[in-house]
Amino acid sequence: MKIGLIYTTTKEPESRDGSPAIMPPLSFAALAAHSGDHDIVFFDERLEVIPENPDLDLAGITINIMNVYHSYQIADKLRAAGVPVILGGYHVTMVPEEATEHADAIVIGHAELLWPELLNDFENGRLKKVYGPGTLNSSDDMVYRHDIFKPENYKIAYPVEFARGCKFSCEFCTICRFNEYKITCRRVEEVIKEIELLKSKEIFFVDDNIYAAPARVRKLLGNLSDFDLSWSSYMSLDAANDKRMLELAAASGCYMLFIGIESLNEENLKLMGKKSIINRQQILDSIKRINDYGIIVKTFFIIGYDYDTYDSIRDTFDFVRRNDLLAEFFTLLPLPGTRLYERYDKLGIINKKKYWLDPEWKSGDVVYEPLSMSVEQLQLLYEESKK
């Protein structure tokens, strides 16, 4: 059987200038590894036009909040051309009823675990409409077929996964729920073997938080120091208190860490469900401790949480500028399936309940009435943060 795995963009790219994309999407390598002997054709819409009438027996598309509308468009076209379509991913898991309208079958949760059963059912003419939830019970299932990607199509870093899940449970985040509030780590030996086989000396650990399981990650990094690698990842700021972790990170080639600070306001942090509430000086001290090991820190902030005002967000911009932080700001987005979405829905302040189905909606657009400022004010602050 010939199976197309399709990575979709947020909308049809206006041009493709032939430049490589930043990174291949690892979830498709996981699906491919669970596809047995079937032929896999991988399409990356950042690099190529998805054919409207491809020679495929089946297509699989992964959907996240940013590409919902366009993915449904592609799924509808493929099905009209006679190619059965399977949809999965975070958005499908959070809003399954909606996705079933655009698919022959959907997969909830970790799709690769249900993929062999689904392919078998399809071949035998008994495809079900819904599969899942796919639950990750063992790191033995975390396997990848990197050969579906052409290395020349990608630049910068190659993705590797060590652990899935996060030890926190922030109100606005779907990662904890998708991973059923648990962390699954791969065996260190398996990860090392995989890195040895990869051609790239630059790795991006796609983990939601590389410090999710401290003892395990210290063991991994201790084994990486002979590899002459450069690597980066997402990390929670509490790792800055772990001197051994930072030593091992630096010795194994870590050059950059992406850290969600989220807010300078303690009330916001409490509402988010952050376990450690730290003040401005503690944030600066933690970042400095990481920088002292030669590691760059890029911070992320969310603007528009309940206790944010126009002035407090301006003050956050000033804090970032004064302290020369590398920072990116995001407007708060109530993701379906989160506690935040439920809370804002009950408050009746979400202006477009299914904003992801609006073809004009894009990252940064404010979709709710902030509690202490107008939509326009928050939108302006977001635009200002991008300058």
One of 173, 235, 249, 313 touching ligand SF4 (CB under 6 A): 173
Of 86-94, 173-181, 198-206, 336-344: span binding ligand SF4 (CB under 6 A) = 173-181
Which alpha helices (H) appear in 21-152, and where do they start and end? 26-33, 68-80, 90-94, 96-100, 111-123
Here the tokens at position 231 are 């690597």
Cβ proximity to ligand SF4, 60 vs 159, nearer residue: 159
Q: Is 179 in the site for ligand SF4 (CB under 6 A)?
A: no
DSSP, residue by residue, 22-47: S---HHHHHHHHTSTTSEEEEEETTT
Of 17-25, 124-132, 166-174, 337-345: span binding ligand SF4 (CB under 6 A) = 166-174
Q: Is 99 in the site for ligand SF4 (CB under 6 A)?
A: no
- Tell me, residue by residue from 182 to 221, as one string, x for binding to ligand SF4 by CB under 6 A and - for no binding: --------------------------xx------------
CB-based contact 125:115 (threshold 8 Å): no
Q: Under DSSP, is residue 65 helix (H, G, I), strand (E, B) or coil?
A: helix
Q: Is 169 in the site for ligand SF4 (CB under 6 A)?
A: yes
One of 33, 74, 85, 176 touching ligand SF4 (CB under 6 A): 176
Which backbone phi and psi does 291 adopt, to 5 degrees? -60, -35
CB-based contact 83:102 (threshold 8 Å): no
Q: Is 336 in the site for ligand SF4 (CB under 6 A)?
A: no
The continuous run of DSSP H or E covering 260 comes out as strand 254-262
DSSP, residue by residue, 84-95: -EEEESHHHHHS
Of 26-34, 168-176, 280-288, 334-342: span binding ligand SF4 (CB under 6 A) = 168-176
Q: Whose structure tokens read 């073997």?
A: 193
Question: Measured between alpha carbons, how far is 109 from 130 in angstroms, rounded to an integer?
Answer: 11
Q: Is 8 in the site for ligand SF4 (CB under 6 A)?
A: no
One of 41, 175, 251, 278 touching ligand SF4 (CB under 6 A): 175
Here the tokens at position 224 are 């990486």
Q: Which of residues 67-96 bind ligand SF4 (CB under 6 A)?
A: none
Question: Measured between alpha carbons, how far is 60 from 106 in angstroms, rounded to an integer?
Answer: 9
CB-based contact 266:287 (threshold 8 Å): no
Here the tokens at position 283 are 């944030």
Q: Is 350 in the site for ligand SF4 (CB under 6 A)?
A: no
Q: Is 290 in the site for ligand SF4 (CB under 6 A)?
A: no
Of 90, 54, 97, 152, nearest to 337 by C-alpha is 90
Q: Is 163 in the site for ligand SF4 (CB under 6 A)?
A: no
Q: Give me the least distance between CB of 174 and ligand SF4, in Å please.
A: 8
One of 61, 160, 170, 203 touching ligand SF4 (CB under 6 A): 170
Cβ proximity to ligand SF4, 168 vs 341, nearer residue: 168
Q: Is 263 in the site for ligand SF4 (CB under 6 A)?
A: no
Of 27-35, 172-180, 310-318, 357-365: span binding ligand SF4 (CB under 6 A) = 172-180
Cβ proximity to ligand SF4, 53 vs 276, nearer residue: 276
Which residues on adjacent β-strands are paired with residue 44? 7
Q: Is 166 in the site for ligand SF4 (CB under 6 A)?
A: yes
Cβ proximity to ligand SF4, 300 vs 310, nearer residue: 300
Distance between the two ends of the chain, CA-based, in angstroms?
49
Q: Is 139 in the site for ligand SF4 (CB under 6 A)?
A: no
Q: Whose structure tokens read 């032929």?
A: 39
Q: Give me the least distance between CB of 214 and ligand SF4, in Å please.
A: 14
The residue ranges of DSSP E strands in 148-253, in sequence order, are 158-160, 163-164, 184-185, 202-205, 230-234
Q: Could you list the residues that contact ligand SF4 (CB under 6 A)?
A: 166, 168-170, 173, 175-176, 208-209, 236, 260
